[in-house]
Structure 1
């Protein structure tokens, strides 16, 4: 009985999160209320508070759910550029009207001081700090530049829908993105050694 109750609570929490993602992606942080999110799911606003604690924590969770940093953390640094570029370019652009993209919440919230603070903390904790450990030399500046490149390309493709970046079927956009990211990631010592060994074999 307790297990089924826990499953139902987890399912309801997921519904609340999905409703919040849709709200935060389509309107500003200030215009999004917990009461409206609760109404979308058909629960009392107190249920939203019990599930997430506050609007700020729910917003942070919505950002994490759409960006999903776990997709690229813990992989080999040598695969980081290809993984990031694949994730960035795998979404169809322009998207259907009912689709939510990873950059929608960010773009809707940049003008909000409160939301920008949460975005700042999320970017540091979920991306810049872990990615900085994968660059060589280890550098928060390199990781921040990687974040800026990804955000810029994503915004140009998914928000502004600029034509040259929409057609990715020939692979050139991904190839150039990988090259750019690899410059920022830097050469790991073993990568340098592997290249030297390849040179010796020739």
Structure 2
């Protein structure tokens, strides 16, 4: 298979509810030598464009609309000509950052083809109302944004987030994937579905 997955780590800040934190974000570029898609537009459009390396960008898929994941969306779209996709339930978060609209709405089940593989959209609310993951059976990988990390679910202590909702999303949409599926996260290290299943049970028992 000629498709590869490249990770770009960009750095900046995340702001919500009156607080600001320094963060490093994972941006994922999936494709072959001719075309690719980008997952998340975090902080630094120039670094992402360098990873694209002249390929045609079919889409910029946004896992959710916290500012650290969408801040570079305008510059990235201008540089690549690629349309942005966001679930409409996160539009109120998007509008806090940008005066323009995302190009398209995401819906659960939407499929994106790139380089002979498919990425299926999984709507996984909880960290944010419009949070989505992107699953590729061919790559045996799921790109979870801030829904699932190594060690458990994403944070739910801020506005528009909910712990029972994220647990149900992970149970119903992510842990149903094959155990060997690699979890490419929005921050930090990769993990697998099989590695996270028992950790999630412990988080539920503690009530987060």
Q: Whose Rg is larger?
A: 1
TM-score by length of 2: 0.29
The structure where strand makes up a greater share of residues is 2
Larger relative contact order, structure 1 or 2 (CA cutoff 8 Å, min sep 6): 1
Which structure has greater helix proportion?
Answer: 1
